[in-house]
Structure 1
Amino acid sequence: MAPVAARRACNPVEPSGLTSTMKRQKKIKMEKKIKKTVKRLRVDMANISIEQRGIREQQKKIREKLEEIGSQCAQLREETELIFRQKAGNQVLLNLVCQIIKARQDRDIEKAASLACTLRDLIAKQKGKRMLMACPKCE
């Protein structure tokens, strides 16, 4: 091995003035700092993972609620459509009744009887069966 002076000549002191023990201590400090940072990052990652799991569960619940709301919306749409159809049917029946009343006021018995048969047929169709008391003129 070369004498100390020769070693120093080959490996002169760095401009910063750090010796090898100082370098080692600095390296150890850096490693400790890095280990501390890695440990903190792992804890942060674990916390983030837990938060993400919670977020996924909340999203799943929200998705289920939205699907439920969608099905309720579709059901309400169907019910509304049914009500409008019933309203239209009732309007037709009311118009026929008004025409029957007007025909009777005008003493047009044939028209009133024809309208009454039409009214009976519509009511029978709405109920899904033919009425027992059928008008002989309608048949």
Structure 2
Amino acid sequence: MAPVAARRAHNPIEQTASTSVMQREKKIKMDKKINKTMKRLKVDIAKISKDQRSIREEQRKIREKLEEIGSQCAQLREETELIFKQKAGNQVLLILVFQIIKARQGRDFGKAASLACTLRFVFSNHLFYARVISS
């Protein structure tokens, strides 16, 4: 008679049962591996989500800063324009003053008086606009 181990190896029922056990063990091993991979993926997804939220928050802050800088640029443009307007008005006043002085030196008092009236008118309007602009 053959040894017991040899007889079992040739017994189809025992062979099927051992194959089934091996397949079940393989399946369990594979399921554990899949579960481990799934857990790792879930952790990775959670980290990525957190990073994306952080990125969106930073983008929002940058957008707000850019909007603030844009409004400051617009305000600076307006202030620069007002300064140029005031400069132009001051130049007109100076030109009139120098023309009055020149007319008086040339003893043309009629022209000097006319220029003085113009100077008063321009100066009063200049002050009015300067108050309106600064308000």
User: Which residues in structure 2 correspond to 1:1-139 (within 5 Å)?
Assistant: 5=12, 19-128=19-128
Q: Which has the higher helix share?
A: 2
CA distance in 2, matches of 1:126, 1:88: 10
CA distance in 2, matches of 1:90, 1:81: 14
Which gives a bigger RCO, structure 1 or 2 (Cα 8 Å, sep 6+)?
2
**1:19-69 residue CA offsets vs partner (Å, 9 max, x unmatched):** 443333222222211111111010111111111111111111111111111
Amino acid at match of 1:127: L
Amino acid at match of 1:59: Q
RMSD between aligned alpha carbons? 2.4
Where does structure 1 lack aligned partners over 5 or more consecutive residues? 12-18, 130-139
CA distance in 2, matches of 1:23, 1:5: 16
Query: What is the TM-score with the length of structure 1 in the denominator?
Result: 0.74
| Residue in structure 2 matched with residue 133 of structure 1 by the alignment | none
Deviation at 1:5, TM superposition (A): 4.5
With 20-29 and 62-71 compared, the bigger mean Cα shift is at: 20-29
CA distance in 2, matches of 1:62, 1:77: 22
In the comparison of the two structures, how many residue pairs are matched? 118
| Residue in structure 1 matched with residue 3 of structure 2 by the alignment | none
SS in 2 for 1:107: coil
With 87-96 and 99-108 compared, the bigger mean Cα shift is at: 99-108
CA distance in 2, matches of 1:5, 1:52: 58
Amino acid at match of 2:126: Q
Query: What is the TM-score with the length of structure 2 in the denominator?
Result: 0.76
CA distance in 2, matches of 1:20, 1:61: 61
Amino acid at match of 1:36: K
